[in-house]
Amino acid sequence: MFIDKTFHRRWHNARTSVFAAALAAATALGAAAPAHADPDTITAVMHSGLRVLDPIITTAHITRNHGYMIYDVLIAEDENFEPQPQMADWEVSDDNLVYTFTLRDGLKFHDGAPVTAEDAVASLKRWGERDSGGQLIFDVTESLEATDEKTITWKLKEPFPPFLETVAKQSAVPPFIMPKRVAETPSSEPIKEYIGSGPFVFVEEEYQPGVSVTYEKFADYVPREEEASWMAGGKVVNVERVKWVTMPDAQTAINALVAGEIDYIEQPQFDLLPILQGSPDVTVEVRDTLGYQTMGRMNFKHPPFDNVKIRQAALMAMSQEDVLGTLVGNPEYYSVCGAIFGCGTPLGDETGAETLTSGGDIEGAKALLEEAGYDGTPVVLMQPTDVTTLTAQPVVTAQALREAGFKVDMQPMDWQTLVTRRASMSPPAEGGWNLFFTNWMVPEISSPIVNPMLNGRGDEAWFGWPDDPKLEELRAEFIAADSVEAQKEVAKRLQAYTLENVIYVPLGQYVPPQARRNTITGMLPSPVPVFWNVDKTE
Amino acid sequence: MRFKNRRFDDADRVLNIRDLSVSLSGGHQRPILDKVNVTIHQGETVCLVGESGSGKSVTSLAVMGLLTKDALTVTGGVIDLEGQNLLELDHKAMRQMRARRISMIFQEPMTALNPVMQVGAQIEEVLDSHTKLPPREKKKRVVDIMNQVHLPDVERIYNSYPHQLSGGQRQRIMIAMALILEPKLLIADEPTTALDVTTQNQVLALITELQEKHGTAVLFITHDMGVVAEIADTVYVMKDGQIIEHAPVETLLRHPTEEYTRRLLQAVPSLIPRPARERNGAVEVLDVEGLRKVYGIRRLFSRAKPTLAAQDVSFSIIRGRTLGIVGESGSGKSTVARCIMRLIDPTEGEIRVASTDIARLSRRELRPHRRHIQIVFQDPFRSLNPRWTIGQSLIEGQLNYGTSRSEAIKRSGELLELVGLPADALKRYPHQFSGGQRQRIAIARAIAMRPDVLVADEAVSALDVSVQAQVLQLLDELQEKLGIAILFITHDLRVAAQICDEVVVMQHGRIVEHDTAANVLMHPQHDYTRALIEAAPGRHWDFANFKELEPA
Amino acid sequence: MAAAPQPTSSLQFILGAVAVPRHWQLGIGPIIAAIVLAIIVVATLFAPLYVPHDPLSMDAVQRLKGPSSEYWLGTDAYGRDLFSRVMIGGQVSLFIGVGAAIVSVFIGLLIGLVSGFFRIADAIIMRIMDSLMAIPSILLAIALVALNGPSLWSVIFAITIPEIPRVVRLVRAVVLSAREEPYVEAAIAVGSSMPKILWKHLMPNTLAPLIVQGTYICASAILTEAILSFLGAGVSTEIPTWGNIMAEGRIYFQIKPSLIFWPGLMLSLCILSINLLGDTARDLLDPRLKKREG
Amino acid sequence: MLGYIIRRILAVIPVMAIVAVFVFLLLRLTPGDPAAILAGDMATPEQLARIRESLGLTDPIHIQFINWVGRLLQGDLGTSLISNTPVMSMIGSRIWPTLQVGTLTIIISVLIAVPMGVIAAWRHRSWIDYAVMSFSVLGFSVPVFVIGYILIKIFSIELRWLPVQGYASPSDGIGAFFSRALLPCLTLATIYVALIARMTRASLLEVLGEDYVRTARAKGVKEKYVLFRHALRNAAVPIMTIIGTGFALLISGVVVTESVFNIPGIGRLTVDAILARDYPVIQAMILLTSAIYVFVNLLIDISYTFIDPRIRY
């Protein structure tokens, strides 16, 4: 074979220079067109991709957050858990049976039509079919109607003390107000039109499910006069556009924020915070001081957890510190908390959670397990593999349970499979389960009315299906309680009862910090990340 | 026989190879070429003759500087082209020598031409590489040389791809390519071996014509003594990397001095048919009637035309006799053999073996009849399963028909002795045997079935002449001993003359002549048969007896 | 080599050392590859005997620690010992590789033989195989893992299915070309039955290419397992594999690259060795190559 | 030629039909209930049943299949169960990034790999051959995501030459597009380059042993013409074939790369859909990617006739 040296050299040089030129060109051009060019647009990475646009049909937080962008609510909760007027003021009759809401002036949907009482009534009815709190109210509703253009009259058959709190609640399904024609969609079908009266307009052409969603400032929105506080007060929009993008890779988002390609990350990975903290352009802070409660739920229908003693033994084996330490790592962002209604809430109380908050009691669990006559039935533990805030709990718990003498069959699956499978009432061997974990925003579990785990109606109850009349009694007592003190007293008994019977296992609270570029200012501290009040400076 | 009797003592020496030695790279084995000396004068044709592996091609590639660099290295000697030692040239200078001073044409014109390039462009590339002529001038030169090699319809062929041309046309393109720059020396490495005999004749004539016109020296490499007799001025005989004898052609053919040369010449089969065997009884063991085979049935949206490979083929063979089917490539002779073996299914016709018509039998029905008719293939290297011992191959068929294993092994040993191989060969593998030995084993496998008919499909064509003679001898003996009928398919008239009692000549899928071997070869009736015989190189020379052939 | 990754420069170093001309021919490359592979196999096979920690035992206090005398390569996000996980994980990865190779070669061989010899079956089988080839293997694998749950066998199954068509095509091609060989025709002529010819004459021809193919499948299975883990459809992290160790560690790439580096290094070395040995086997077994380079 | 193309296109039909049946059955056997996913955490069993019915998931499987095929033949790919968006429009908005990155990758790969393979074959057993071979084995041995991370680390984080992530359409400016597409393309190209370089080398080595290459050299043709005019063109058919079959690898790589670089392409769409059991999207995506694969290979088969005049159908 012959070697033409000149030719080779020429080829080699050509190749090198083409590559170098391409790289250089790309670099130069790229630098000329930075990603964060637009000072009027906030680009935010949210905790998950938006795929479902109907905030009534699903309880997904991302959809709820989307709801707060484009819809408005009649009344809203402020940072003191107090209901405040938002779209409407209200009056209550002396017998606590008639609530009258009056819409304020200047409310308009994004298509220009004024918001009427008819719209609100239709929206509330649809909400009442889906939301568990709403269902409780509609159980005692006499009538709900629009008495004129601006007035909504809601008559009850019997008093429902937490009425306003329920209508004002921010999780999981707030009663967003939609145009009547949209709200008349059956509650089992998703809506097909996305028009609200909220401070932002949904830009449908730019929506890519699961990837990105764009909102524009609604020019005709009239904010309230009051200071913004949680979901209440004046929603003043200072930017032209807000764009939510999804980044499936946690690291990519972190790097993008440091590089200034995005402005905000709702929930950066705990372990990656040091990278962000090392950047002078980025602020890491806790927005929502209540944060999340992580918890475990057992299946009451099948052995071994149909036996209360075995449930108690399992609870005894668990340690909040171990779970939170692995899940979060940095103690700054978590706290052990034995309260089923969450610590820092009006009803928070830690009765009965001593072993949980003090590192677990493996020996006690062993003894109890023996006493209960545990026969070695394996505990089928479902482990989601694709949700980073849920991967640690099953792994840590499985180890604790094994140490206590349980036989654990940890079955990994993606979250969607878990969601499907937890709805199965079959025995664990036939596609059922014994134990799983999930996380709640604290306001979602902060009262017996909203807390889904405290439903004791057997097959109608939340997954796990405890059939527990006593629990239902306590809940009824709470609803009937007419003073804060009375409510607190019932709540305390509920707390004790829940832990004693291991209705579910609170595993502590954590506060995911948010991260923002320093150019983003005025973010409200709130459980729901909101983009009103926010400013972007150069 | 008219030999070339020109003398070149006064002519310029074009090529002078002195003591050329070539070895395997890095190896310390016997050299591939051992002190080879060859001289070629202007206008002279030197034939380099030898059996496979004798080193003839290595010699030619060494002159061209085209030895595979990793594999072979020149270890000594001089290759002197008009006073310049080619071995001292660097790559660039050597490249410039090629096509301008020395050219080469190769054996297989199909593979030697770039299949994805138009042939005109391939010729023109020579001019691109060595001259700076304007495009129009180049085209003119190319058309001119294409005319000189007598290509028809030059404009069309200029824009054709190699696969669109016939074998002869392709070789003419090669010659045009080699001679366009009028080199001093043309090396032709078996240039006609892959061609049919009639085409071969034309190409040889063309080479001679152009050589005379341009005064080119030619180094002609061949294994075919007939070709040598036709074309050579001087002959060099090679064996195991050495030149063992060289002489003007007539001297060599009349008075070979070396024993090896004598044997080589004696092995060349004569064109005079051997005496026919007597027809003992008249048991027809194979009777073919109206055989027809069509390939390529039309498919939906397909333009493929059906090809008629054989039609109206009828013949029969009597026990103990040999029928030869002779024809050029594409004449349909192999198709007939494969149909008879039912390796392919005939489209029409009857094939009666031991009085059963097997043409329509299903695979399963066929199996009991298989043993009556056996086949020996052309390629000795592929006809035995390389993973099986000889013993396994030999007993396979016997076991299929109920012979016990021990019996079969015993018989296989006997068969090996019958075909002239030691019985211990049973435990060895095919790669441990030479081509000729393997062909003997293949014959043993066939006769192990005690067939009535043996089909030999070009069974000796891949063998060197000396081996070929031995295998033909073996077939002859076996037929004598066992009374087998043989259907012998060949393209080689000399071979046919030596083994056949009757000859069938095929052309374009049809039988054009069918008679006794003596009649067909000595008194051909059909034009095509006559053309075939006239094209056979060296047909007036009796190589085995070192003299002219006496007219019968 | 423009895109050559930085942390694998040690690999390049080794390769660079190997790539000394002339020594390659019958090879120092394959020899080193064989040694590396043997070390990896032995080390992972006997890992339970010497690893200092239970690869599953967690310690929230010891999360994401650097190398120390107790944790030789540091710990992962659950405070598990990285060294123990990488060594034990190798077992599972190799098992997946070898398992996928054996299963797909075996199934592919059977289907391919049938397809290569029976024309009617051939048309149907090849249509099905074409269809399987057309489905992007990674999507098929994710779907299959989603179907069966992320267990070890379901991952092997998911990797195997897309490989089968390739094996079938290979076997079929070998059978189709081998059945034209004169020795096969001779076997037909001596009255051997089709199944016998298929098994005794044709099948052995497929073995050499299948061994080569098997090594490539093995290597690509190990790699595919890693990619499946990355996409969230791999083996459960209770059973450590190189793939899921990397997948779990990938979010710590910037703060603790060793979580990707060590399993990645082992995986790459292992695949590299298998591929090199596969190439060597192919060169040795491919007669055309032998002729050309001989 | 036209007949051949028509025959090839007809042959695609059974293949795609089998893919369709296969994918449909595969998904319906998968545990996972889009209704549960859609309803979220607080759904009651009764609500789930209602949603299931409204999604048409309660019909018998064969009815679902017939409905789906019927709509498919009318060009209706259905509507995402989760986002309630027509699948067609989801694909429409997500396919461009993938196509652009994919095409660019193929171009980059071929431009790098073919010369690499040619040089390696030409200087067979030289250091450059070993370098190319080492690279190509290495390219097969490192997971795509690791390569991606390493490139990000070097070019985006350390050198800060290129953005870390994201996608910009060429209509946003060629510079923005290339600066974002370059790293994903290089990442994807690694394995593709390895594959093509390897095949180029092998097939060229084979061709370089052919008679016509010897003829070309015997004609005194310059070595570069021997390589590129004679050898490469004859070696092109297997190279084209590997580009076609390697396309499947590219699709796999795209799925991973889109995650690493946050490109809103169809790879991520598909993975997300599988994890969410969004049947219509998964079905459409697998059919689409299969169809693209089949189509690309069809084009490549047809291109053979232009490369090699002997191939006529």
Which chain B residues are Cβ-neighbours of A3 within 8 angstroms? 91
Q: Least CA distance to C179: which residue of chain B?
A: B343
Mean pLDDT confidence for B361-385: 89
Residue located via tokens 């036209």: D2
Q: Given this model, what pLDDT does residue C19 score?
A: 34
Which chain B residues are Cβ-neighbours of C186 within 8 angstroms? 375, 377, 383-384, 442, 445-446
Cα distance between the two ends of chain D:
6
Distance CA A357, CA B64 (A): 91
Whether A203 has a pLDDT exceeding 70, the answer reads yes
Q: Buried b / exposed e across B319-356, counting CB within 10 Å, b at 16+?
A: bbbbbbbbbbeebbbbbbbbbbbbbeebbebebbbbee
Q: Least CA distance to B301: which residue of chain D?
A: D3
C244 CA: distance to closest CA in chain D (Å): 12
Split at pLDDT 50, 70, 90, the class of D32 is low
**Number of domains composing chain D:** 2
Stronger pLDDT, B354 or A235, i.e. the higher one? A235
Q: What angle do CA C134, C140, C142 make, to 5 degrees?
A: 155
Query: pLDDT tens across D184-240, in order?
Result: 999 999 888 998 998 899 889 888 888 889 889 888 888 888 888 889 988 888 888
Stronger pLDDT, C101 or C293, i.e. the higher one? C101
List residues bridging with A83 in a β-sheet: A77
Q: Both tokens of residue B63? A: 């002159």
DSSP state at residue D198: H
Taking CB atoms and an 8 Å cut-off, how many pairs form between chains C and D?
178
Stronger pLDDT, A384 or A294, i.e. the higher one? A294
Let me know whether D35 and D173 are in one domain: no
Counting as contact any 3 or more CB pairs under 8 A, the partners of C are A, B, D
Round the average pLDDT of chain D to a whole number and report it: 83
Residue located via tokens 């921010």: A170
Split at pLDDT 50, 70, 90, the class of A381 is very high
Q: Given this model, what pLDDT does residue B28 score?
A: 63
* Residue D63: inside a domain: yes
Mean pLDDT confidence for D159-175: 79
CATH of the domain at D143: 1.10.3720.10
Q: Least CA distance to D203: which residue of chain C?
A: C289
Let me know whether D165 and D284 are in one domain: yes
Q: Given this model, what pLDDT does residue A459 score?
A: 84
Distance CA A497, CA A475 (A): 11
Q: Given this model, what pLDDT does residue B297 score?
A: 61
> CB distance B91–A2 less than 8 Å?
yes
Q: Given this model, what pLDDT does residue A176 score?
A: 96
* Residue D252: inside a domain: yes
Task: Name the domain boundary from D16, D39, D73.
Answer: D73
Q: Is A489 exposed, middle or buried (0-12, 13-18, 19+ CB in 10 A)?
A: middle
> CB distance D275–C133 less than 8 Å?
no
Q: Given this model, what pLDDT does residue C242 score?
A: 92
> CB distance D178–A29 less than 8 Å?
yes
Split at pLDDT 50, 70, 90, the class of D11 is confident
Let me know whether D225 and D134 are in one domain: yes
Mean pLDDT confidence for B506-532: 92
Which of A467-481, B513-527, D13-27 has the weakest average pLDDT?
Answer: D13-27
Q: Within an 8 Å CB–CB cutoff, is residue C195 touching chain D?
A: no
Q: Given this model, what pLDDT does residue A173 score?
A: 86
Whether A121 has a pLDDT exceeding 90, the answer reads yes
Distance CA D265, CA D285 (A): 11
Q: Given this model, what pLDDT does residue B307 score?
A: 82
Pairing of strands A264-265, A41-45: parallel
Q: Domains of chain A, with CATH numbers?
A: 1-49+199-288+513-538 (3.40.190.10), 61-198 (3.90.76.10), 292-510 (3.10.105.10)
Contact criterion met (CB below 8 Å) for C97 and C222:
yes
Task: Name the domain boundary from D24, D40, D73.
Answer: D73
* Residue D284: inside a domain: yes
Whether D2 has a pLDDT exceeding 90, the answer reads no
Whether C290 has a pLDDT exceeding 50, the answer reads no
* Residue D271: inside a domain: yes
Round the average pLDDT of chain B to a whole number and report it: 89
Split at pLDDT 50, 70, 90, the class of A163 is very high
Split at pLDDT 50, 70, 90, the class of C71 is confident
Record the pTM. 0.80
Query: pLDDT tens across B294-330, in order?
Result: 887 655 555 556 788 899 999 999 988 999 999 988 8
Split at pLDDT 50, 70, 90, the class of A1 is very low
Let me know whether D94 and D179 are in one domain: yes
Q: Within an 8 Å CB–CB cutoff, is residue D124 touching chain B?
A: yes
- List, in order, residues 6 or more apart from C177 with CB less than 8 Å away: none
Counting as contact any 3 or more CB pairs under 8 A, the partners of B are A, C, D
Distance CA D152, CA D159 (A): 9
Contact criterion met (CB below 8 Å) for B328 and B196:
yes
Q: Both tokens of residue D175? A: 């510079």
When computed from its CA atoms, the radius of gyration of chain B, rounded to whole angstroms, is 26
> CB distance A26–D44 less than 8 Å?
no
Q: Which of B64, B68, B91, B92 to mutate to test the interface with A (most CBs of A within 10 A)?
A: B91
- List, in order, residues 6 or more apart from A453 with CB less than 8 Å away: A295, A297, A340, A445, A462, A464, A498, A503, A504
Which chain D residues are Cβ-neighbours of C22 within 8 angstroms? 125
Distance CA C121, CA C119 (A): 6
The range of the structural domain enclosing residue D48 comes to 2-73
Mean pLDDT confidence for D260-286: 84
Mean pLDDT confidence for A218-226: 93
Let me know whether D237 and D284 are in one domain: yes
Query: pLDDT tens across B332-352, in order?
Result: 899 999 999 998 889 999 999
Counting as contact any 3 or more CB pairs under 8 A, the partners of D are A, B, C
Taking CB atoms and an 8 Å cut-off, how many pairs form between chains A and C?
73
Q: Given this model, what pLDDT does residue A22 score?
A: 47
Q: Within an 8 Å CB–CB cutoff, is residue A331 touching chain D?
A: no
Q: Domains of chain C, with CATH numbers?
A: 28-293 (1.10.3720.10)
* Residue D79: inside a domain: no
Contact criterion met (CB below 8 Å) for D138 and D198:
no
Q: Given this model, what pLDDT does residue D313 score?
A: 53
Split at pLDDT 50, 70, 90, the class of D41 is low
Let me know whether D123 and D164 are in one domain: yes
Let me know whether D286 and D241 are in one domain: yes
> CB distance D140–C232 less than 8 Å?
no
CA C262 to chain centroid, in Å, comes to 18
Mean pLDDT confidence for A442-470: 88
Let me know whether D159 and D211 are in one domain: yes
Q: DSSP per residue over A424-457, as a string?
A: --S-GGGT--SEEEEEEEHHHHSSTTT-GGG--B
Portion of chain C with pLDDT greater than 70, in percent: 87
Round the average pLDDT of chain A to a whole number and report it: 86
Q: Given this model, what pLDDT does residue B316 score?
A: 92
Split at pLDDT 50, 70, 90, the class of A537 is confident
- List, in order, residues 6 or more apart from C56 with CB less than 8 Å away: A399, C80, C238, C240
Contact criterion met (CB below 8 Å) for B487 and B353:
no
B74 CA: distance to closest CA in chain A (Å): 15
Q: Given this model, what pLDDT does residue B298 score?
A: 55
Q: Both tokens of residue C201? A: 């004459």
Q: Is the bond preceding residue A304 a cis peptide, omega within 30 degrees?
A: yes
Q: Given this model, what pLDDT does residue C199 score?
A: 87
Let me know whether D277 and D129 are in one domain: yes
Task: Name the domain boundary from D24, D44, D73.
Answer: D73
* Residue D312: inside a domain: no
- A-facing residues of C in 119-178 (CB < 8 A) are 146, 149-150
Pairing of strands B348-353, B356-357: antiparallel
Let me know whether D63 and D93 are in one domain: no
Mean pLDDT confidence for A477-502: 91
Taking CB atoms and an 8 Å cut-off, how many pairs form between chains A and D?
195
Q: Least CA distance to B93: which residue of chain A?
A: A2
> CB distance B129–D225 less than 8 Å?
yes
Query: pLDDT tens across C19-30, in order?
Result: 333 334 556 778
Which chain A residues are Cβ-neighbours of D122 within 8 angstroms? 1, 3
Dihedral (CA of C81, C84, C85, C87) sign: positive
Let me know whether D241 and D274 are in one domain: yes
DSSP state at residue A226: S
Contact criterion met (CB below 8 Å) for C218 and C274:
yes
- Residue in C134, A122, B111 with CA at minimum distance from that of residue D295: C134
Distance CA B429, CA B387 (A): 7
Query: pLDDT tens across C179-233, in order?
Result: 888 999 999 998 888 888 888 888 888 888 888 889 889 988 998 998 888 887 7
Query: pLDDT tens across B191-201, in order?
Result: 988 888 888 99
- Residue in A535, A462, A444 with CA at minimum distance from that of residue A504: A462
Query: pLDDT tens across A247-270, in order?
Result: 877 778 888 898 888 999 998 888
Q: Is B349 helix (H, G, I), strand (E, B) or coil?
A: strand
ipTM of the complex: 0.78
Q: Which residue in C181, C186, C188 is closest to B445 by CB distance?
A: C186
B229 CA: distance to closest CA in chain C (Å): 34
Mean pLDDT confidence for B26-48: 86
Distance CA B150, CA B207 (A): 11
D215 CA: distance to closest CA in chain B (Å): 6
- List, in order, residues 6 or more apart from C133 with CB less than 8 Å away: C162, C165, C166, D248, D293
Instruction: Put residue D237 in one of left, alpha, beta given phi > 0 → left and psi -120 to 50 → alpha.
Output: alpha
Distance CA A210, CA D278 (A): 12
Let me know whether D277 and D183 are in one domain: yes
Q: Within an 8 Å CB–CB cutoff, is residue A2 touching chain B?
A: yes
Q: Given this model, what pLDDT does residue C17 score?
A: 32
Q: Given this model, what pLDDT does residue D44 score?
A: 66
